[in-house]
Amino acid sequence: MHNMPGPPATGREAVLKTIESFLKGWQRTEWEIVNLAASATRAPSTRLPLSKVTTPAAGC
């Protein structure tokens, strides 16, 4: 099953190129912890990613 936009990346170079395309313009991500619970063997949490990404204007 493939649930990503675009074709699957096959091979090391294709995977690196795909990752680089997602990271272009990425400046930072801060995680806000909304809920956190813990037991002896589990620690479920709800996290909210707050990312800052700059992208070029359309047509650039």
Question: Tokens standing for 58?
Answer: 């359309």
Q: Give me the half-sphere count of Cα atoms (radius 13 Å) on the Cβ side of residue 47.
A: 9
Phi, psi at 34, each rounded to 5° = -90, -45
Number of H helices, E strands in the chain: 1, 2
Q: What is the pTM of this model?
A: 0.45
pLDDT for res 13: 95
> Cα–Cα distance between 25 and 53 in angstroms, integer?
5
Name, in order, each residue with C-beta under 8 angstroms of 6's C-beta and a sequence gap of 6 or more. 18
Q: What pLDDT tens digit does each residue of the chain (60 aa) get?
A: 667 777 889 999 999 998 888 788 888 889 888 888 989 898 888 988 888 888 765 555
